[in-house]
Structure 1
Amino acid sequence: MRNQTKESRRLKDLIRIGVFSALWVVIGFLVAFTIGFFPPILLVLPCVLGIIGGIVYVVMLSKLTIPGGILISSFLLGICLFTMAPYGMMFFCTVAGGVIGEILYSVLGRRTTKATMVGSSFALVGLALGEYIPFIWMQDAYRSMLVNDDSGLLEIAEWCMNIVSVPVMIVLCVATVTLTCLGVLWGNKIVKKRLSNAE
C-alpha cells in the first residue's frame, strides 16, 4: 500500500513537471515571438523570461516531492531551442544551466526561497548564455545559418552581433538573475495566496 502511494505521488509529480514545463515552453515562445523580432528587445528577452520563469518554477516546485523539476523543464525547453542558434548552443547552455540549477536547488535545501532563487537563476542564466554566446563567438556560423532565411532574422542577428560584447553579456546575465529572483518572490506570493485560499 505504501509503495502504491509512493508510485502515485511520483506519477503525479512527473505529470506536474510535464504540465508546467509545457506551460513554460508555450509562454516562453509566445513572449519570444511577440517581442523577439525587435532587436533591442531581443537582447533583454532572457531578462523578461526571468520573471516568468521564476514564477513558473516556484509554483511548480512548491508541490513536488521528487527532484528533477528544474532539470527536466530546462531539458524540454532546450530541445525546443535546439535549432535557434548554431551548433545547438541554446540547447546545451539551457540544459547545463538546468543541471547546475537542479544540483544547487537540492544542496541548498529544496523548497526554500533561497534554493529556488539560486536554482531558477542558474536555469535562466543558462538560457541567456545560449542566446548571447553565439552573438559574440559564433558570428560566422550564425550568418551561415541564416543566409538563406527570408524572414529578416539575419538583419536582427547582425544588429545583435554588433551590440553584444562580453561586458554587455555580463550586465544582461546579472539583470536576468535579478529579475528571476523577483519572479521567484512574486511566485511565492501566488503560492501563499493559493494555500490560504485552500484552507
Structure 2
Amino acid sequence: MDDKAAQAPSGVSGSAPPAIVVMGVAGCGKSAVGTALAEVLGAIFIEGDRLHPPENVARMANGEPLTDQLREGWLDAIGERIVVSVGQGQGVVAACSALKRGYRERLRGFRRDIVFLYLEIDPATASERVAGRKGHFMPASLVDSQFAILEPPGMDERALTLDATRPVAELVTNASRLLRRS
C-alpha cells in the first residue's frame, strides 16, 4: 500500500480553516493519526466515536453492524461539529469511518471542502488491532462487516490515501505534506 493522493486536493492553506476527516475501518488508526495531525495543524480534534448515540454503541458492543439509517444521525452530528468549529475560525480534524461514498457525501453536505484522509489497511491487521484494544465498544467480530461495505474513495473524490500499517508519526508527516500541496 503506497501513500497516494486519490485526487490532489487544494491543500489546507487558504482563507478557510482546514476540515479534514480521517477515515477507514475500525483499527486503522483514525483516532491516533487524527489526534496527532490536529496537533501538527493547530486544529481541534473531533472523536467521531464519542458522537454515536447510546443505542448505536449498544448495538455495536453486542456485535450488530449499523445500518445506513442508524448512521445518519451520527454523521450529521460529526458534520455539525465540523461546521461549528470552522465557523469559529478553527481548523478541524475528525475521526469518522466514512466507509461509503454516500456517508462522505452526507458529510460534504455540511462542508464541500472537506478533505478525507483514508487510512488503508488489510483485514487481518485491522482485526488484530481491534482485538487488542481495551475499553472500546467495537468488537473485532465487526471488522469484517466494515470491509464488506467499504467503498474506498474514488479518484473523483477529494481524498488522500495512506498506508495505515506505517507508524503514526510517518503518517502524520506524509499527510501534512500531501495536504499542503496545491
Give the TM-score normalised by the residue count of structure 1. 0.32
Give the TM-score normalised by the residue count of structure 2. 0.35
Which has the larger share of strand? Answer: 2
Kindly name which structure, 1 or 2, has the bigger radius of gyration based on alpha carbons.
1
With CA pairs under 8 Å and 6+ residues apart, which has the higher RCO, 1 or 2?
2
